[in-house]
């Protein structure tokens, strides 16, 4: 039941309003002045406050300001006998939900209170969701309860204590950047920059200036000196995502920087030193790339000191429920929606899907589902058609296998009965090896002696 506070110095009016509001399902506490109202708010959670503006000692506008300081999620409806545009503007500016002029239309007031209560409850719920999400994951933690996810988290803590180069491998969308950030956060460099370089997205003509920086006038459009990613990463970590996309020429330049930790800006002569830690990631088989001369062997061994592999989502299905919970919490809070409830039938379909796009695909799907959700529930209708079709096909396949096994068992029983338990004769007529028939008898727990 929504807790509502009424503040007015007219005791008789309070009594009337209190009876009306209780009839409409509100839990009501009445106060005759602002000081008492603030004392109540120190003890109780109030969703909606309905206050007169003109009161002795503390007027309604001053009370409104104090309420918003004490409890920003409490919605305040202001009542006044002297309505004016300037008064309404000031009230809204200070955070009032609405501004109504006496004598108030009761139906209008009740309608405002219900809407205010919904908004207050949603704010409170979303604040709880954000706290829950923050406690669950700060966005820089690999989420999951599977042994694989837990092992990666433990390795990140161990690896973070060193400055050795790390190569993270795994399919696209598995969370390689998140794992790299975890390693950075577990290191002594955590308070320094974590600089990302997406090798697949950088223009080949601009990659040198992006990595090494440039001097003013180094090229057309270079109107000022620019720091590169290596310089920005000084003291911190530089993360090369999809390093397998880098050209052989840039691989050569990168190897030199990794070995010497020095470089020059484009168009400059000054040697710049940067103390960075390298983490690289790829979805390619770099060993194969080396064998086919598309990736330098010496660079491969330089970046692959500590290899870490993230398994695809289809190999850690136990993580899907907790990932769904995390993403649902995130997007419900972002969209100011109640946390949707995911039905078990939906979750079962998600755990049957192959997830070629891995965690990124799941995250995008959950965002879509929250957008399309209504009345706080998620059913199979918000799933893409291909997911529903796959689930139905798998169910059909399971049913067919069940019927096939049932028929096979009945057939074996019939053959064994015909040959009075003689395995050799039954196997001969069935045209299968005797040892295979023994296996089937054991599998179906058929007594034949």
Reported CATH class of domain 147-311: alpha beta
Q: Is 326 or 410 the better-scoring residue by pLDDT?
A: 326
Task: Tell me the mean pLDDT in the region 47-74.
Answer: 90
Q: How would CATH label the architecture of 388-443?
A: Orthogonal Bundle (1.10)
Domain 315-350+358-378 has CATH 1.10.8.60: yes
Report yes or no: 312 and 269 within 8 Å, Cβ to Cβ.
Answer: no
Q: Give percent of the chain above pLDDT 90.
A: 48
**What backbone torsions phi and psi does residue 393 show, to the nearest 5 degrees?**
-65, -40
Quick check: 227 and 214 in contact, CB under 8 A?
Answer: no
Confidence of residue 387 (pLDDT cuts 50, 70, 90): confident
Mean pLDDT of 139-143: 72
| 56 CA to centre of own chain | 50
What pLDDT, on the 0 to 100 scale, is given for residue 310?
96
pLDDT category of residue 6 using cuts at 50, 70 and 90: very high
Predicted pLDDT at 149: 92
- Region 313-321 average pLDDT: 92
Residue 135 has what pLDDT?
45
- Across 184-195, average pLDDT: 94
Q: What confidence category does residue 413 fall into, taking pLDDT thresholds of 50, 70 and 90?
A: confident
pLDDT value at 5 more than 80: yes
Averaged pLDDT, 284-288: 95
Domain edges within the chain: 3-135, 147-311, 315-350+358-378, 388-443
**pLDDT for residue 129 is more than 70:** no
230-266 confidence digits (pLDDT tens)? 999 999 999 999 999 999 999 999 999 999 999 999 8
Confidence band (pLDDT; 50, 70, 90) for 273? very high
CATH 3.40.50.2300 for domain 3-135, yes or no, is yes
User: What's residue 136's pLDDT?
Assistant: 47
Does residue 132 or residue 375 have the better pLDDT?
A: 375
Question: Do 3-135 and 147-311 have matching folds?
Answer: yes
**pLDDT band for position 170 (50/70/90)?**
very high
Banded pLDDT at 126 (limits 50, 70, 90): low
Q: Is the pLDDT of residue 137 over 70?
A: no
The average confidence (pLDDT) of the chain is 86
Residues paired with 239 in a beta bridge: 196, 279
Is 70 exceeded by the pLDDT of residue 88?
Answer: yes
- In tens, the pLDDT along 9-28 reads 888 889 999 999 999 989 99
Under the banding of pLDDT at 50, 70 and 90, the label for residue 400 is: very low
pTM listed for this prediction: 0.60
Distance of CA 320 to the CA centre of its chain: 12
The per-residue pLDDT for 162 is: 94
Q: Is the pLDDT of residue 397 over 60?
A: no
Mean pLDDT, range 81-91, rounded to an integer: 74
411 pLDDT more than 90: no
The pair of structure tokens assigned to 384 is 């893409």
Average pLDDT, integer, range 58-85: 87
Asked if residue 319 has pLDDT above 50, the reply is yes
């Amino acid at each position: 039941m929504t807790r509502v506070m009424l503040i007015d110095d007219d005791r008789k009016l309070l009594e009337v309003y209190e009876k009306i509001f209780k009839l409409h399902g509100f839990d009501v506490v009445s106060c005759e002045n602002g000081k008492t109202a603030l004392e109540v708010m120190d003890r109780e959670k109030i969703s909606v406050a309905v206050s007169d503006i003109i009161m002795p000692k503390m007027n309604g506008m001053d009370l409104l300001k104090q309420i918003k300081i004490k409890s920003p999620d409490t919605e305040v409806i202001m009542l006044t006998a002297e309505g004016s545009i300037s008064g309404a503007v000031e009230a809204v500016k200070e955070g009032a939900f609405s501004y109504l002029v006496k004598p108030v239309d009761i139906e209008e007031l009740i309608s405002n209170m219900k809407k205010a209560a919904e908004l207050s409850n949603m704010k409170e719920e979303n604040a709880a969701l954000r706290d829950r999400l923050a406690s669950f994951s700060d966005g820089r933690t690999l989420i999951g309860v599977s042994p694989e996810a837990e092992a990666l988290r433990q390795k990140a803590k161990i690896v973070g204590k060193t400055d050795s180069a790390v190569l993270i491998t795994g399919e696209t969308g598995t969370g390689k950047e998140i794992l790299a950030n975890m390693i950075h956060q577990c290191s002594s460099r955590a308070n320094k920059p974590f600089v990302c370089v997406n090798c697949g997205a950088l223009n080949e003509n601009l990659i040198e200036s992006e990595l090494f920086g440039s001097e003013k006038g180094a090229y057309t459009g270079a109107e000022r000196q620019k720091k590169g990613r290596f310089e920005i990463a000084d003291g911190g970590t530089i993360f090369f995502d999809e390093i397998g996309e880098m050209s052989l020429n840039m691989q050569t330049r990168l190897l030199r920087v990794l070995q010497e930790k020095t470089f020059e800006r484009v168009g400059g002569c000054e040697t710049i030193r940067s103390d960075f830690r390298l983490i690289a990631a790829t979805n390619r088989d770099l060993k194969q790339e080396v064998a086919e001369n598309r990736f330098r062997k010496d660079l491969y061994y330089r970046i692959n000191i500590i290899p870490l592999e993230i398994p695809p989502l289809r190999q850690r299905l136990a993580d899907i429920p907790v990932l769904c919970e995390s993403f649902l919490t995130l997007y419900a809070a972002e969209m100011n929606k109640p946390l949707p409830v995911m039905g078990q039938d939906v979750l079962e379909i998600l755990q049957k899907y192959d997830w070629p796009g891995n965690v990124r695909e799941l995250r995008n799907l959950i965002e879509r589902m929250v957008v399309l959700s209504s009345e706080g529930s998620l059913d199979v209708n918000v799933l893409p058609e291909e997911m529903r079709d796959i689930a139905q096909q798998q169910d059909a396949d399971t049913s067919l296998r069940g019927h096939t096994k049932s028929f096979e068992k009945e057939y074996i029983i019939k053959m064994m009965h015909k040959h009075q338990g003689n395995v050799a004769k039954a196997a001969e007529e069935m045209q299968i090896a005797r040892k295979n028939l023994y296996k089937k008898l054991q599998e179906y727990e058929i007594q034949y002696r």
